[in-house]
Amino acid sequence: MKRHVASLLAQALKAMREAGELPADLELPEVQVERARDRAHGDYAANTAMVLAKPARQKPRDLAETIRSRLPASEAIAGVEIAGPGFLNFTLTTAARQESVRVALRQGAEYGRSDVGAGHRVHIEFVSANPTGPLHVGHGRGAAFGDALASVLEAAGYHVHREYYVNDAGRQMDILAASLWLRYLEAAGEPVSFPNKGYQGDYIVTHARELFEADGREHVRTAAELGAGLPAEDDDPEGYLDALVARSRELLGETAYRRVLDFALEAILGDIRADLDAFGVHYHRYFSERQLVDQGRIEHALERLDQAGYTYRADGALWFQASVFGDDKDRVLRRDNGLTTYFAADVAYHLDKIERGFDTLVNVWGADHHGYVPRVQAALKALGVDAERLDVRLVQFAILYRGGEKLPMSTRSGEFVTLRELRDEVGKDAARFFYVMRRSEQHMDFDLDLAKSESADNPVYYCQYAHARICSVFRQLEERGLACRVTPDEAALERLDAEHEAILLDLLGRYPEVIESAALAREPHQVAQYLRELAAAFHTYYNAVPFIIDDEALRDARLTLVQATRQVLANGLGLLGVDAPQSM
RNA sequence: GCGCCCGUAGCUCAAUCGGAUAGAGCAUCGGCCUUCUAAGCCGAGGGUUGCAGGUUCGAACCCUGCCGGGCGCGCCA
């Protein structure tokens, strides 16, 4: 409908130019049509006359008058008014307004879907937390945002691929393997001392015991063998850790070491997958960084950069000329010790996404990675890829509070709240809705005690309650031996002339526009805001007007309206990964 | 020090590309269960959109400078 109005305006402008009412050389602007914020302003509003006033050298209101006279007739438009400084306000006919109810019920779960995405292939990468421990609550926002955005894009007609990038290569994996092995030795009764910089969490102990149960004493070495000749930990904790890793590797041999490492990785990745699963987040693929290394994709990427002529050697290292493409400085790809950097792997990963045929790459990153964005963009540009194709959405951290006290969430400190604990405390639905309710750029406060103690006031329940209430109405109807006896097309929707009904009709018609807007702006919070509005309109309606009444035609019309509302609530909540319960 | 993000009601946040009288929830106060779920509804109070300039028909939004908060500035990942 919005597009219909815009097209009417565009035709009017064209006609005016041909009639000489606008300068022939005037470039016609893209017509902006928006939903009227105030119902007194009709259904749709356009600022076209005000935008054109200056270049056309005419008064906005006069221009608006001319535009109105040139508008083609439309069955959907009941009237056009000129208001304020020169707004054109369009009012829909009642028939056009009722149409949304019929469309919503006819399309059911499909209502709201569109084809603006035109099958564009979008790769969306989110969470991608290091597989060195369970997900903590800091990852929750990225998970909720990324998944909701992916769903919204799907609904808007994009072809979406969800991916988790697993950083299963490099030093952190060695530290993980060593940490798990030391706990394994403890489980076997060896008196080893655990390094401060190792992964301290209980989950390591748990998984180490599992390894002990699975493999028995096969990987046991004595504490004496392990400690012999190692430097003192206090002097150089990081150096000590590296020495410990090297010693572990040496004592276990490559095969057993690999076994321990893979066991640790699989166990932790299993935890992560299970947590995301329970959070309602499902990926098409978990993409392994190690595989990128093993398959020579990093060398491939470095060659490509080299061929493009943007690498050079200095101080024994291989550098990328990121500064040529807008980054602050050049970046190292291969260190003087011969190992490639994390950045090199990331270049390879992004190149791989492009080579897999994706049109657009959406990266959902924590805001602490913002300094990293220019160098990845620079690499893509150097590889001849249009930087517009990479869209990095930075998600600000949610600052956690418990009882008014700010909470740290570092995995190193050992005192962090896991995503699982969050789910256990406040529930999946409340957590997901809360995370996705706000703009991702907005810093956010999240008080766990508040979310728990006031869980009944959480906006998610407000929306779910509206859905459950509607289901209850139909149960009630059945109990009284009644039913809605008409199809949506037969319903006497013209009887719905009350103010509350007009508001609901208006909102139902807006839903597809909201999805489209949320997809284009990459802002799933628009959907959450909309659902709250829709739920509010329904609750008001529910309290003001009885549905199960004696007047059968009116009763059926109201039931049809309410059924359409239920459908839209269910569709919208579904996009956000929130359940729409039949009862509460 | 440099760079990025943010600053809106007591609190947490919205505000459709710059658009009409800046809106919700929580909290406070006053009402509504003898009919479909009170996890709800109706009403009231609460604002110099951090501050000061600028741009224009029009600024919470764009520009400049300050103030405050978060984050980042590694041959770590």
The domain defined by A455-576 folds into: Isoleucyl-tRNA Synthetase; Domain 1 (1.10.730)
Q: Is the CB of A51 under 7 A from strand B?
A: yes
Lowest mean pLDDT among A83-92, A218-227, A282-291: A83-92
Q: Is the CB of A543 under 7 A from strand B?
A: yes
Distance in Å, residue A61 CA to nucleotide B56 C1': 17
Q: Percent of chain A at pLDDT above 90?
A: 72
Q: Is the CB of A89 under 7 A from strand B?
A: yes
- Single out the residue of A325, A337, A147 nearest to residue A242, CA to CA: A337
- Strand B-proximal residues of A, range 438-467, CB below 7 A, are 438-439, 441-445, 454-457, 459, 461-462, 465
Q: Is the CB of A468 under 7 A from strand B?
A: yes
Q: How confident is the model at residue A454 (pLDDT cuts 50, 70, 90)?
A: low
pLDDT of residue A526: 96
Q: Is the CB of A385 under 7 A from strand B?
A: no
Q: What is the pTM of this model?
A: 0.94
Q: Is the CB of A58 under 7 A from strand B?
A: no
Distance in Å, residue A50 CA to nucleotide B53 C1': 27
- Strand B-proximal residues of A, range 245-304, CB below 7 A, are none
Residue A400 has pLDDT above 80, yes or no: no
pLDDT, averaged across chain A:
91
The predicted model gives A159-170 an average pLDDT of: 96
pLDDT of residue A56: 82
Distance in Å, residue A442 CA to nucleotide B8 C1': 12
Handedness of CA A313, A314, A318, A319 (dihedral sign): negative
**HEC letters along A279-327:** CCCCCCEEEEHHHHHHCCHHHHHHHHHHHHCCEEEECCEEEECHHHHCC
Q: Percent of chain A at pLDDT above 70?
A: 97
Task: Decide: A127 and A164 in contact? Cβ < 8 Å.
Answer: yes
pLDDT of residue A411: 43
Give the number of other CB atoms < 10 A from CB of residue A74: 16
Report how far residue A200's alpha carbon sits from residue A96's, in angstroms, rounded to the nearest whole number: 63
The predicted model gives A5-20 an average pLDDT of: 89
The predicted model gives A313-328 an average pLDDT of: 94
Residue A99 has pLDDT above 90, yes or no: yes
Q: How confident is the model at residue A412 (pLDDT cuts 50, 70, 90)?
A: very low
Distance in Å, residue A14 CA to nucleotide B10 C1': 53
The predicted model gives A84-92 an average pLDDT of: 90
- Strand B-proximal residues of A, range 337-376, CB below 7 A, are 337, 339, 341-343, 367-372
pLDDT of residue A397: 80
pLDDT of residue A413: 41
Please name the nucleotide lying closest to A454, CA to C1'.
B26
Distance in Å, residue A153 CA to nucleotide B64 C1': 38
Residue type, A572: G
The predicted model gives A492-502 an average pLDDT of: 92
Residue of least CA–C1' distance to B32? A543
pLDDT of residue A456: 65
Residue A421 has pLDDT above 80, yes or no: yes
Distance in Å, residue A570 CA to nucleotide B23 C1': 25
Nucleotides on chain B that have an atom closer than 7 A to a protein CB are 3-7, 11-17, 19-21, 24-27, 35-42, 56-57, 69-77
Report how far residue A179's alpha carbon sits from residue A143's, in angstroms, rounded to the nearest whole number: 27
The helix (run of H) or strand (run of E) holding residue A194 is none
Domain with CATH 3.30.1360.70 in chain A: 1-92
Q: How confident is the model at residue A32 (pLDDT cuts 50, 70, 90)?
A: confident
Q: Is the CB of A32 under 7 A from strand B?
A: yes
Please name the nucleotide lying closest to A525, CA to C1'.
B14
Residue A67 has pLDDT above 60, yes or no: yes
Distance in Å, residue A517 CA to nucleotide B44 C1': 36
- List all residues 6 or more positions away from A413 whose beta carbon is below 8 Å from its beta carbon: none
Domain with CATH 1.10.730.10 in chain A: 455-576
Q: Is the CB of A49 under 7 A from strand B?
A: no
Report how far residue A382's alpha carbon sits from residue A305's, in angstroms, rounded to the nearest whole number: 7
Report in angstroms the alpha-carbon separations of A576 from A219, A267, A305, A364, A529: 46, 29, 39, 16, 11
Q: Where is pLDDT greater, at A446 or A428?
A: A428
Q: How many residues does chain A have?
A: 584
At A552-580, the pLDDT tens digits run 999 999 999 999 999 999 999 999 999 99
SS3 A181: helix
Please name the nucleotide lying closest to A398, CA to C1'.
B70
Task: Decide: A493 and A105 in contact? Cβ < 8 Å.
Answer: no
Which option is the CATH number for A1-92: 3.40.1190.10, 3.30.1360.70, 3.40.50.410, 3.20.20.330? Answer: 3.30.1360.70
pLDDT of residue A447: 76
Distance in Å, residue A33 CA to nucleotide B61 C1': 19
Distance in Å, residue A155 CA to nucleotide B76 C1': 39
Report in angstroms the alpha-carbon separations of A454 from A76, A182, A378, A401, A448: 45, 43, 46, 14, 10
ipTM of the complex: 0.95
At A197-247, the pLDDT tens digits run 899 889 999 999 999 999 999 999 999 999 888 888 888 888 899 999 999
Q: Is the CB of A544 under 7 A from strand B?
A: yes
C-alpha Rg value of chain A to the nearest Å: 30
